[in-house]
């Protein structure tokens, strides 16, 4: 997925080894594309896509931008279908407000969760970090 975006503004921080999760490859690709596209739409200059783990029983995927962020009070609401925040509507003409709703449903199907938080709490432009937690699988046996 990262290969379809220029670097910069998208930086990839790959894991130190392959991370295995159970899920539909096409659906997981759609999750990443939606999150990175959304981050690019709102970033001022940079987006980071990172994969890490395991964190307990989960692998983590984070997509972080340096844009204005989303107020804490709206972070759950943006996962509803057709939701676009007023400042997002003023900034761009793209999107129908379905991207994050699709992300949440596809992550749920894979047995994971997705949450939004400030990338740099307290900053004038806090950015946004989307964290996807997917159940970790053991590395398949090499046969």
Summarised one tens digit per residue, pLDDT across range 54-68 is 888 999 999 999 999
Domains and CATH numbers, the chain: 2-136 (3.30.565.10)
What distances in angstroms separate CA 98 from CA 23, 27, 34, 35, 84, one per listed residue?
A: 21, 15, 9, 11, 9
- CA proximity to 42, closest of 12, 85, 8, 72: 85
- pTM of structure: 0.86
Summarised one tens digit per residue, pLDDT across range 101-143 is 999 999 999 999 999 999 999 888 899 999 999 999 877 765 4
Range scoring the smallest mean pLDDT among 38-47, 82-91, 96-105 = 82-91
Q: What is the mean pLDDT of residues 8-27?
A: 92
Band of pLDDT at residue 94, cut at 50, 70 and 90: low
Separation of first and last alpha carbons in the chain: 27
Write the Ramachandran bin of 69: left for phi over 0, alpha for psi from -120 to 50, otherwise beta: left
């Amino acid at each position: 997925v990262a290969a379809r975006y220029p670097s910069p503004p998208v930086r990839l921080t790959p894991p130190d080894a392959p991370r295995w999760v159970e899920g539909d490859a096409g659906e997981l690709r759609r999750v990443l594309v939606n999150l990175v596209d959304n981050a690019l739409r709102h970033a001022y200059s940079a987006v980071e896509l990172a994969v890490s783990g395991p964190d307990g029983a989960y692998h983590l995927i984070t997509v972080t931008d340096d844009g204005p962020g989303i107020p804490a009070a709206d972070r759950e609401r943006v996962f509803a279908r057709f939701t676009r925040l007023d400042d997002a509507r003023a900034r761009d003409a793209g999107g129908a407000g379905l991207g994050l709703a699709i992300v949440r449903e596809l992550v749920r199907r894979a047995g994971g969760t997705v949450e939004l938080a400030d990338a740099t709490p307290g900053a004038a432009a806090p950015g946004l970090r989307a964290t996807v937690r997917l159940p970790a699988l053991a590395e398949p046996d090499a046969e």
